[in-house]
Structure 1
């Protein structure tokens, strides 16, 4: 069963660039590491060879993962003239007296460190469709109630 992914245009570009790098540069690097490790002799007790083969396996899994995402993704652009939160919106919120800024993206490009939260996450899903001034409530990962006030929406 294929997964359905939601991507912003920027997220799609980023995945395409990563795929290009992995298929063209990283594959060659790992192939070269395997070739060099084979030259050390007996590969049954060769940790350099094992490491390179493990990296090759992880690389191929990531390439397959990106190909699956790109093949099954719906690219969503935030409407330019909307007063509601959509995928692609950057939202400034007040969460318990603390101002936070989130960009709502699909799960495949979510990255909390960059402030990009999934439209399927508890906070992301409650923000979808909301407008400036809305007061929302959701449940956090620990089961604690989170109060959110939408301060600003940018597209």
Structure 2
């Protein structure tokens, strides 16, 4: 059976965003340290199970080998991410919106606060948006009192900037 070919989506080959907060950087470092401490035990377990013989019917060995691969993959990902990370330095000056700022906006007679961070920390449900998101792009460089328009699907939403922190 042939695997169907699918065209990659528009977000398939984006480079990862190196901008992260100091808190996220520290969190990733702790995860890396934890994985590096867990790796020797995983290697020992894999070696112990390999000594049992027949690899084809040794489910424990296959599982341990997969776990070790996962640990190695995540260690490489974290080392790469930390090597290329750029820590967001929040500006004290809040004349205009910049990465790291919290922005309170008004739209549809409601007020909502968004924090603009790098893509690695984005969580729209908690109000953390990326500087690359349509709203993030529209807000960056704007000042209190400015109105920005963001196209959302087939409609356009106007946001008025109330406060920058």
Q: TM-score scaled to structure 2, two decimals? A: 0.71
- SS of 1:93's partner is strand
1:100 aligned to 84, 106, 112, which one? Answer: 112
Where structure 2 has 5 or more consecutive residues not aligned to the other structure, the ranges are 1-14
Tell me, yes or no, if structure 1 residue 109 matches structure 2 residue 108.
no
1:7 aligned to 2, 5, 20, which one? Answer: 20
Residue in structure 1 matched with residue 89 of structure 2 by the alignment: 77
Cα root mean square deviation, aligned: 2.8
Question: Could you tell me how far 1:89 is from its partner in structure 2?
Answer: 0.9
Q: Which of the pair is proportionally richer in helix?
A: 1
Question: Could you tell me how far 1:123 is from its partner in structure 2?
Answer: 1.6
- SS of 1:42's partner is coil
Which runs of at least 4 in structure 1 moved beyond 6 Å after TM superposition?
none
Structure 1, residues 28-56: CA drift from partner, whole Å, max 9, x if none? 56446535654776332344433333333
Distance 1:41 1:108, change over 3 A: same
1:127 aligned to 139, 147, 151, which one? Answer: 139
Partners of 2:107 and 2:41 in 1: how far apart? 45
- SS of 2:145's partner is coil
Partners of 1:99 and 1:37 in 2: how far apart? 58
Q: Which of the pair has more CA radius of gyration? A: 2
Residue in structure 2 matched with residue 22 of structure 1 by the alignment: 35
Partners of 1:53 and 1:143 in 2: how far apart? 49
How many residues align? The count is: 151
- SS of 2:91's partner is coil
Distance 1:93 1:29, change over 3 A: farther
